[in-house]
Amino acid sequence: MAEESSPLRHPFGEIAVEMKAITPDQLQAGLDRQAMLRASGAKTRIGEALIILNLMDDATVKAVLAEQRRRRQKDADSQLPVERFGEFKLVERLGEGGMGSVYKARDVLKERFVALKVLRKGLTITPEHIQRFQREGSAATELEHPNIVATYSFGVLKGIQYLAMEFVEGETLKSRIRREEKVPEPDALRIAAEIAKGLGHAHAHGLVHRDVKPENILLASGGAVKLADLGLAKSVYGDQQLTQTGQVVGTPSYLSPEQAQGEKVPDPRSDFYSLGATLYHALTGRKPFDAKSQMDVMMMHIQGRLPNPKDFNPGLSDGAVQIVVKLMAKAKGERYQSAQALVEDLESVQRGGQPKNAALDLGRSSILPPDPKRAAEIRAKRAAQAQVVARDQGKGGCLGAVMLLVTVALLSLYLQG
């Protein structure tokens, strides 16, 4: 039996069985369904297959994934020296993913802090993983732009592949959205414009990012905005052997329709779609499409109508909505065709003007008209909140008047005495 289909050698399945979320037989049924779906071209994960079979629910899958990430972190700690890695002195772990971990480290030779990404050892690392990691280092070193995280060096040390990148003090756009729910329109447009400039530079060098999303956008403490993670970046001139036909590349919540369909040839306009989905999330506090499985989300990107951003943020300008809709057009030919045109519109709307390159044709657009019911719910909620504020202020005013009368009475008694 192939390694991927063996329950005893499947990391997710082993943890799920250990947690008593499923039985070995149920895991095997899920693996069989996953294999069937993948044979038809779908990039289905085992968790999704188990959800489709009603053997696990979304919450249980997330719990198993969380435990899997915890074990990966423990494994990464055991593989890397606690304090020193070559010329890098490790300070703290910044994050961990499927391919490896990222640490804040100090380059003792150059006397600067770096973000050190190391490829995790000990688990199943395929040649494709290594090629992707090396491609990220190679691609990033070719790009020098204020809106792209700089790469200083990459290589192999003590059998561990590493990538030393610019350390950005701040947070990700994902963290800011989680903290604030919605990013104010002027800030969101500015962030999108800066990322568009970085994408324009990458596209001019023949590279398509292919994974633009909030967690790959870094917001520096000083106000700079930088695009990170070129692990999926791909040249439009070649490198075709690294992506198989039908393979989905990107993050389901933000990927373009053509990526969801496994299109093999990279296209810069796919990055614009993903930036549009990211901007939608920042402006509304929710992802463009939401469903129980990643497969359903991808199908919605392909053929679903986009919920109107004003349903979730009625105060958005028409210009901002027009830009989002043009960015997220289903057909590549109806999106922005250049980063320059996109930046012009973003900066124009940010100044209070109108977009010049994003005329909104509702007859051809995939956006849904504003939902009257949703708008009425928002108005009612705001009216209720206003009543509460007014009532509290009224109580505060009455209390203030009472306190004033008491003070005057006490002062009169004091003077009489």
What residues form DSSP beta bridges with 56? none
Backbone angles phi, psi at 134, to 5 degrees: -65, -35
Residues catalogued as catalytic: 211
Q: Judging by DSSP bridges, how do beta strands 84-85 and 217-220 pair with one another?
A: unpaired
Dihedral angle of Cα 92, 96, 100, 106, to the nearest 10 degrees: -20
CATH class of 80-166: alpha beta
| Residues 6+ away with beta carbon under 8 Å from 25 | none
C-beta of residue 246 within 8 angstroms of C-beta of residue 256: no
How far is Cα of residue 251 from the mean position of the Cα atoms in its chain?
Answer: 8
pLDDT confidence of residue 155: 80
Angle in degrees, 0-180, between the axes of helices 268-284 and 339-350, rounded to the nearest 10: 20
Q: Look up the pTM and report it.
A: 0.70
Give the angle subtended at the CA of 382 by the CAs of 381 and 385, to the nearest 5°.
Answer: 90
Q: Where are the domains positioned within the chain?
A: 3-65, 80-166, 170-370, 381-417
Helix (H) and strand (E) counts in the chain = 13, 11
What's CA 224's distance to the chain center, in Å? 18
Q: What is the pLDDT of residue 234?
A: 54
Q: Report residue 410 as tokens.
A: 């006490």
What top-level class would CATH report for the domain 170-370? Answer: mainly alpha
Residue type, 110: K
Confidence at residue 231, expressed as pLDDT on a 0 to 100 scale: 54
CB 94 within 8 A of CB 192: no
* Environment class of 88 (CB within 10 Å of its CB; exposed 0-12, middle 13-18, buried 19+): buried
Count of CA atoms in the C-beta half-sphere (13 A) of 35: 13
pLDDT, one tens digit for every residue, the chain (417 residues): 333 444 546 888 889 999 999 999 999 999 999 888 888 767 678 888 899 999 999 889 989 988 887 777 666 555 555 578 888 999 888 877 656 788 899 999 999 999 998 876 654 456 666 666 666 667 667 788 999 998 888 887 877 888 888 999 999 999 999 999 999 999 999 999 999 999 999 999 888 988 999 999 999 999 999 998 775 455 444 443 333 333 445 688 999 999 998 887 789 999 999 999 999 999 999 999 998 888 899 999 999 999 999 999 999 999 999 999 999 999 999 999 999 999 999 999 999 999 999 865 555 556 776 766 666 666 676 677 667 666 666 655 555 555 544 444 444 444 444
Q: Identify the helix (H) or strand (E) that includes residue 225.
A: strand 225-227
Tokens linked to 5: 């289909």
Residue 154's CB is within 10 A of a number of other CB atoms, namely 18
